[in-house]
Structure 1
Amino acid sequence: MKINWGTGIVIAIVAFMSFILYMVITMSTDNTYSFDLVTENYYQKEVHFQGEINAEQNALEYKDKVTIQRTVDGLKIEFPKEFSPKEIKGKVFLYRPSNKQLDFEIPISISNTYLLVPEKRLLDGRWNINLAFKYKDKEYLIKREIQY
């Protein structure tokens, strides 16, 4: 049987379309290819985005003074010495882009100028840290990425 140009092109197009259709069905139904969103309530968080921008602008003056470092006991978040620890209110949100089951949040309630996140809560890998706090009626937001 001899195949002419027209038949060959039709066979090539049908084979390509079949391959693409197979890949779409496989990727959309197989659980091993599932991807988590960074946040579940994306649109609700978008409404508060201008507040985050303002808080990040406020935090620029303290960006280098707020240190986040790994210690033997865990992750130490140290605030500037001029801050009164009892007036710092807020939360630390740590999340793993690779696995949302490891995400957790810690309220800031300190008596010293530092907060310690326990070592047992942190697995090795990349962590994104959102440090949102309020000091003297001014909101601050510091975002960092660390490799633990």
Structure 2
Amino acid sequence: MSNVAGFWIRLGARLLDALLVGMVIGTIVFLFQMNTESQTTQVIEGVGGILYYVLLPAFVYGYTVAKRLLNIRIVKMDGSDVGLGTMVLREVLTGLIYGLTFGIAIIISMFMIGLRKDKRAIHDLIAGTYVTYDKPQHWK
């Protein structure tokens, strides 16, 4: 592990990504004049979030839009690029865990990022990942 990204940069990236995803989904809902309380809208929000947070890093060297802007990315413990399976574990499985614990696990994860030397949260431990400032190998 090298050049580990800490709490504030990761929080900033997550907030920027959430804002971006929210704006895109909000625009889709507005353009199609959907009822924001409908189940269809909720499905679009859920699927859109999963597609963004799972597929984008899996195919773009561990980057989301905000992580790229802030020069951080998700990598496997050996420093290699994350794949689809890794991102499903990191985002979907741990999302279920966070939901089942009513958000308590999210708070624990925030403390883990802030206090652990390796800055790894629950989702990082489950998926075998960490967040780094290192560029992809072929970009160096």
TM-score range normalised by the length of the shorter chain: under 0.3
Q: Which has the higher contact order (CA 8 A, sep 6+)?
A: 2
Larger radius of gyration: 1
Report the TM-score when normalising by structure 2.
Answer: 0.22
TM-score w.r.t. length of structure 1: 0.22
Q: 1 or 2, which has the higher helix percentage?
A: 2
